[in-house]
């Protein structure tokens, strides 16, 4: 098996939940079969995985979308009209990730991310030259800081 690192595509193994899982709350039976990408490896016992919305069951996906819509509404209602008018279309598009914390032992190598409308709606800091490779957390942070500086620069 290949070494799994940040940005690796993974699938969570299907297995029975044990008493130890209930204590640690690191695995639940409904995690089995979900696919996604590793966001961060804290240690072999703790790995955060961003789950693909397409791999969620219909009920969980529907509940996740309801929560996202409630959060988006609350966020937009908290902004002034002037603040709302300054938002770009991308900023108005509210994306909520579904992330779980699992053990590395519960992961197996996954398949490439399926193409879908949900995946294309996800915010991306990538430029056309960077689309072949996914940006690291450090690169994303640097791009975000540069973008925020450009938004607060005088004359913009």
The domain limits of the chain are 9-123, 124-156
Residue 130: which pLDDT band, with cuts at 50, 70 and 90?
very low
Predicted pLDDT at 115 = 58
> Among candidates 34, 4, 44, 55, which has minimal Cα distance to 100?
34
Average pLDDT over residues 34-57: 88
For the chain, the farthest-separated pair of C-alpha atoms sits apart, in whole angstroms, at 60
Predicted pLDDT at 154 = 66
Residue 122: which pLDDT band, with cuts at 50, 70 and 90?
very low
> Among candidates 31, 52, 42, 51, which has minimal Cα distance to 106?
31
Quickly list DSSP for 122-140.
S-----GGGTTSPPPHHHH
Predicted pLDDT at 153 = 65
Predicted pLDDT at 50 = 92
DSSP tag of 141: H
């Amino acid at each position: 098996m290949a070494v799994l690192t940040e940005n690796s595509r993974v699938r969570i193994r299907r297995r029975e939940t044990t008493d130890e899982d209930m204590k640690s709350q690191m695995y639940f039976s409904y995690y089995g079969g979900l696919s996604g990408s590793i966001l961060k490896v804290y240690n072999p016992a703790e790995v955060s995985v961003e789950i693909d919305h397409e791999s969620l069951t219909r009920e969980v996906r529907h509940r996740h979308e309801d929560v996202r819509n409630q959060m988006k509404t609350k966020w937009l209602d908290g902004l002034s009209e002037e603040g709302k008018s300054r938002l770009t279309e991308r900023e108005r598009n509210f994306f909520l990730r579904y992330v779980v914390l699992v053990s590395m032992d519960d992961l197996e190598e996954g398949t490439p991310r399926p193409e879908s409308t949900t995946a294309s709606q996800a915010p991306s800091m990538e430029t056309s030259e960077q689309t072949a490779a996914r940006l690291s957390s450090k690169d994303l942070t640097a791009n975000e800081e540069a973008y925020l500086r450009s938004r607060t620069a005088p004359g913009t």
